Amino acid sequence: MSRLLDPVRSALYGDEVLQFLDASFRRETRVLVIGTVGFAEESLYFPARLAGRPNTDFRYFREMRPDVPAEILRKGQVHEEQLNRVIGTRLVITPLPVCAPDGAPIAGRGACKLAAQWLNEAPYSDVVIDGTGMSRGTCFPVTKLLIEEGRRRGVRVHLLLAGSDEGFTSGITSISSDRGDWVHGFQEQTDTDEFAGALKLWVVQLHEDSRSILERIFSSLQSPEEVCPIVPFPSRDPRRGDRLLMETRQLWQGDWGETPMSLIYADDRDPTDVFRTITELHAARVAALSGARTQSVTILSPLGNRLTSVGMLLAALEYKLPMYYLETVGYRVREVETAPRRETPDHRWCFRFM
Amino acid sequence: MINPWHKRANELIRDPLALLPLISPAPIRQFFKGDATSLFDRLVVVVGSPGSGKTTLARLLELGTLMAAVEASDRPDIRPLIEALNAAGLLDDLVPTVLAVRLPANSLYRGLWELPYPEETKHKLLRSLIQARAVLGWFRQLEADETLDVSVVRIHTVDVGEAHRAAIAADSASEFRELARKTEAEIFRVLSALVPPPLEQLSEHISSLVYEPLVAVSAIEVPSFKGRTGPFELRPMVMIDDAHELHSSQFADLDVWLRNREVRTARWVLTRVDSISPSEFRRFQLEDEIERPPAGTSPGRDRLIRPLQGRKARQPFRQTVGDIGRRYMSQIPSFAAQGLNSLGDALPDAQPRMAQTAVRKLRDEVKGLGKRFDLSDATIQAAIDHMPPEAPEELRLAVARIILHREALRTPQRSLFSAGTSDEAEPQLSRKIDNAVVVGAELQLLHDFGRPFFYGMDRLADASGENIEQFINLASVLVDQLETLVIRRKRPQLEPQRQHDALVAHANKLMSHWDFPYAPRVKLLVDFIADRAIELTRRPNAPLDDGANAFGVPQSDIKALEGDPDFENVIHYALAYQAIVMVEEYKCKGELWCIFELGGVACLAKGLTLMRGGFVEGRLEEMRRVVAR
């Protein structure tokens, strides 16, 4: 992938993100902001910062899932009203069905179709993707499409992310679809005959309560030969990795037949660390298997924290790696956060593709 | 050494030689019984819930597995399976007769439906992709024989002209394979494009929308097989697994296409029953042999539907899991060293004994009934004597308690103001006692005194809902405990209390880990049905003998389901994951009912009967209210 700027090396964090946005978008710059109305408070952060800019159009998805509890729907509605108040008529919100009536994940295709249309609406010089409230099945294909189209048309693409360690979402767990799928646009050649006998390395993020998801993906991928679970370490909670290893030990020790030698560690607040970890693993594997007659493929499965799964996106884009996932079809609310809202999210990232 | 009890699905076992000893020949014999040729000359739809053995069956038929079976045919643990494969016509003189490929109908195929093209074009793409992958799969299967040069195999066609042979490049194995590869690659590129090309440009990406080897190919001839000189003719076969993942329109087109007798290749579609539509799915559970021919088609002639699970006889499944238990146990050396060859031997089913204090309490309660219902000691003793004296006292008392309550309801109430006279006849207790009443009494002892109920191999089998994977999953917790006993050099036998506790804890854990779409609301529905069933089971007179494990609504209520997609989805996933089983048009009390029966895991977790048929009467609206958002 030829480029002027390395999105990982040039990644911006914290206040640098706002400084960059202020400095790089001149008044006459025509900007398209694509985002999703989310139920997390952080999803309002970037739109509020960008709302005051002239020549900026906001095109948002309202992701429609089949099984969402009323409190989450209410929260989404409140956020939609707030966005409308802050942005006004420049905001267009379009419903995006995440699943077909039979449960098949369709968000990626639908989102790409809409994003391609939006890009043609005006001669934009910059596109901002606010991935904060966007699900992976929507965000990743749209990002890939816009990068490809951006390179073709000379449009700069910026991927923004905001997240907090705790918040409204901490009492919410997602319910996954029962059918795995490649993230749209990230199938690569994995499903073709050419790769039918390929040695599969599956790199998967460990996450709380993800046992059945892990089982389902492993089975859908037809038992990859090797599995490298990504353990969150360092982490805000230093024991999180140990707990996850304990929780999933029957899987990685039993079904997957792995040993602690296969575990890889990455900071659960830093997408660039996840990227670097996958890069090292991929490079080592390519070196080890070069010259072998057998094909090999590294398959990534982003789970849990959206911030860190963006590290997988960066690696998938860089090395053309396939990504396999389970779409979220609904949520389970255990408790709703009562802590006061934070003005500034704990983590803010900007990745630039230009 | 793998512990097969911890491999929840056979598909996780990659090596055919590790898989084969775990496959019981009993269900294979059952599946292929009768005239097996009909399973290869028309469309066969194999129906079963997740874990019922569909994929294992398909894997068994693949050439790589058959070859592994042949190579290991002198092993005593595989010989019965070889006999079953011979009887099914899958082996002939230790040479496979079919070249079968399993195509998991994964998201790729379903993705075709989302392309922005007319329905007809999407169906053509699906048919072409399936055929291309079938051809590629056959060659991959053949490559499993390292002694075979796949470029020299011959493709036999029947009833097609030279033009068709040329269109599929059947004259050269290499070109035949290459064309399939090209067809797959072209479709794949369109499918995986972030924004697919518009219809007008489709021809620039796909050279031909029509690619039909399955109509033509009747046999694939190999010059040798594993070094044995031939030639041998193999019957090509395609097995589309997990077809429920297709869009219903795709499934319907597949059905029409593969029913066509012009298709020469053996073809199976393996699916969960919900692949057609939720309403048909429910109807499919009515009968063991399912057939609903659309107009213009002939039932049985152009399609066979073979369910892997039935509702009638439980004995064959008990035998099957008994065999699986033996096979799995033999894989664990520590058990073999202890002479433990069968899971059933480690799970005694002798009636457990309750603590004396609890028995005394029950005895007092039964005595109290005598006073309450004004019955003589002889009548009470007669009620107790319904059970043989060798039965545990608490069970005799519990059965007596039920009988006395029933008698009290049957006998006209005496005057509150007269104590009765000597000429008033004592009620004559019925001598006949059904086994279901004894089970009901056991369940009441479980709920009243915590006496174990779920123990022994038969109840373990019944709780598995005729689902082999569920059986292995449930049994695995018992096997773990047995391993612990062996390590501690103790006798490898689990007392009923230990079996019961382990199974109930595991069932509760499984339910708390339910993580499929709509799972939280499915759980609410299960809790609702279970609460009502427990209340009925615990009624003193045990009106349904062994109690209930289901909720029944008038059949006419079911129409309301179709107007409520949200509720229908909850029911759909509850059925698909066997949280509940739905039985429609069940005749009872001269009326037609639709019964929502709890699955085995829920019955274990809630302490309900594993027998079928007992239900609490209600209305569909009650269920809808429970799961409403």
Measure CB to CB from residue B195 to each of A70, A100, A112 and give the nearest one. Answer: A112
The secondary structure of residue A64, as a DSSP letter, is E
For residue A188, the chain B residue with the least C-alpha distance is B192
Measured between CB atoms, which of B136, B194, B573 is closest to A193? Answer: B136
**B420 or B364: which leads in pLDDT:** B364
For residue B316, the distance in angstroms to the closest alpha carbon of chain A comes to: 29
CB nearest to A219's CB, from B9, B195, B515: B9
Contact flag A329-B517 (C-beta cutoff 8 Å): yes
- pLDDT at residue A112 tops 90: yes
Alpha-carbon radius of gyration of chain A? 20
pLDDT at position B410: 76
Dump pLDDT digits (tens) for A278-309.
Answer: 999 999 888 888 776 778 899 999 987 888 89
Cross-chain residue pair A104–B107, CB shorter than 8 Å: yes
pLDDT in tens, B555-585: 999 888 888 888 988 998 998 888 998 888 8
**pLDDT average, residue stretch B62-84:** 93
pLDDT of residue B427: 52
**CB count in 10 Å sphere of residue B588:** 12
Assess whether pLDDT exceeds 50 at residue B209. yes
pLDDT in tens, B584-621: 888 888 999 999 999 999 999 999 999 998 999 999 99
Distances (CA, A) of B261 to B258, B268, B270: 8, 14, 19
Rounded to the nearest angstrom, the minimum Cα separation between A29 and chain B is: 27
* Amino acid B169: pLDDT: 95
User: Could you count the other beta carbons within 10 Å of the beta carbon of residue B180?
Assistant: 25
Q: What is the pLDDT at residue B130?
A: 97
Asked if A254 and B192 come within 8 Å (Cβ–Cβ), the reply is: no
State the Cα torsion A139-A141-A144-A150 to the nearest 10°: -80
pLDDT at A167: 54
Report d(CA B9, CA A340) in Å as an integer.
46
In the predicted structure, residue B423 carries a pLDDT above the cut 60: no
Of B136, B140, B517, the CB nearest to A178: B517
Residue B290 banded pLDDT, cuts 50, 70, 90: very low
Residue B292 has pLDDT above 60, yes or no: no
Retrieve residue B357's tokens.
Answer: 């204090």
pLDDT band at B217 (very low <50, low <70, confident <90, very high): very high
Are B181 and A193 inside 8 Å of each other by CB? yes
The upper half-sphere exposure of residue B208, i.e. CA atoms within 13 Å in the direction of its Cβ, equals 11
- The model's pLDDT over B11-42, given as tens digits with 9 standing for 90+, comes to 777 788 888 988 999 889 989 988 888 899 99
Question: pLDDT confidence of B297, banded at 50, 70, 90?
Answer: low
CB pairs under 8 A between A and B: 116
Nearest chain B residue to A328 by CA: give it: B517
**Separation between Cα atoms, residue B38 and residue B60, nearest integer Å:** 18
Would you state the pLDDT for residue A267? 92
Q: How confident is the model at residue B106 (pLDDT cuts 50, 70, 90)?
A: confident
* Residue B286 pLDDT class (50, 70, 90 cuts): very low
Highest-scoring range by mean pLDDT, A304-308, B164-168, B425-429: B164-168
Instruction: Match 């053995």 to its residue by tokens.
Output: B53
For residue B281, pLDDT beyond 60: no
Residue appearing with tokens 């029509």: B210
Residue B280 confidence (pLDDT) above 70: no
Task: Report the 3 state secondary structure along B570-618.
Answer: HHHHHHHCCCEEEEEEEEECCEEEEEEEECHHHHHHHCCCCCCCCEEEC
Residue in A191, A222, A248 to test binding to B, most B beta-carbons within 10 Å? A191
Put simply, the answer to whether A209 touches B113 (Cβ < 8 Å) is no
Residues of B in contact with A103 (CB under 8 A): 517
| Per-residue model confidence as pLDDT tens digits over A41-52 | 899 999 999 999
Are B585 and B544 contacting, i.e. CB atoms less than 8 angstroms apart? no
Looking at the complex, report in whole angstroms how far the Cα of residue B91 sits from the nearest Cα belonging to chain A: 26
Note whether B14 contacts A178, CB cutoff 8 Å: no
Q: How far is A109 from chain B (nearest CA, A)?
A: 7
Test B195 with A212 for CB contact under 8 angstroms: no
The chain A residue lying nearest B249, using CA atoms, is A102
Are B195 and A116 within 8 A, CB to CB?
yes
Closest CA of chain A from B63, distance in Å: 15
Looking at residues B272-281, what average pLDDT do you find?
57
CB proximity list for A73: less than 8 A, separation 6 or greater = none
- Using CB atoms, pick whichever of A112, A179, A188 lies closest to residue B107: A179
Search chain B and give the residue with CA nearest A141. B194
* % of chain A with per-residue pLDDT over 70: 95
* pLDDT digit string, tens, across residues B305-364: 888 866 556 678 898 899 999 988 888 888 888 888 889 999 998 889 999 999 999 999
Distance of CA B158 to the CA centre of its chain: 38
- Helices B315-330 and B25-32 pack at an angle, to 10 degrees, of 140
Distance, in angstroms, between A49 CA and closest chain B CA? 30
Closest CA to B176 of B145, B139, B207: B139
Contact yes or no for A179 and B245 at CB 8 A: yes
Determine the residue of chain B that is closest to A334 in CA distance: B520
Q: How does pLDDT run across A233-290, given as a tens digit for each residue?
A: 998 889 999 999 999 998 999 889 899 999 999 998 899 999 999 999 999 888 888 7
Share the mean pLDDT of chain A.
90
The nearest alpha carbon in chain B to A256 belongs to B12
pLDDT of B524 above 60: yes
Our CA-based measurement puts residue A69 at a distance from the nearest CA of chain B, in whole angstroms, of: 7
Q: Which of A112, A146, A149, A178 is most worth mutating to test chain B (most B CB atoms within 10 A of its CB)? A: A178
Q: What is the pLDDT of residues A2-56, one digit of tens each?
A: 446 789 989 999 999 999 988 888 888 899 999 999 888 899 999 999 999 889 9
Closest in B9, B114, B133 to A106, CB measured: B114
Inter-chain CB proximity B192 and A187 less than 8 Å: yes
- When pLDDT is cut at 50, 70 and 90, the band that residue B422 belongs to is very low
- pLDDT tens digit sequence for B440-465: 999 999 999 999 999 999 999 999 98
Taking the CA of residue A206 and the nearest CA in chain B, the distance in Å comes to: 16
Q: Which residues of A touch B248 (CB under 8 A)?
A: 102
pLDDT computed for residue A44 by the predictor:
94
Q: Which of A303-307, B63-67, B233-237, B412-416 has the lowest mean pLDDT?
A: B412-416
* pLDDT tier, B275 (very low <50, low <70, confident <90, very high otherwise): low
pLDDT at B424 over 50: no
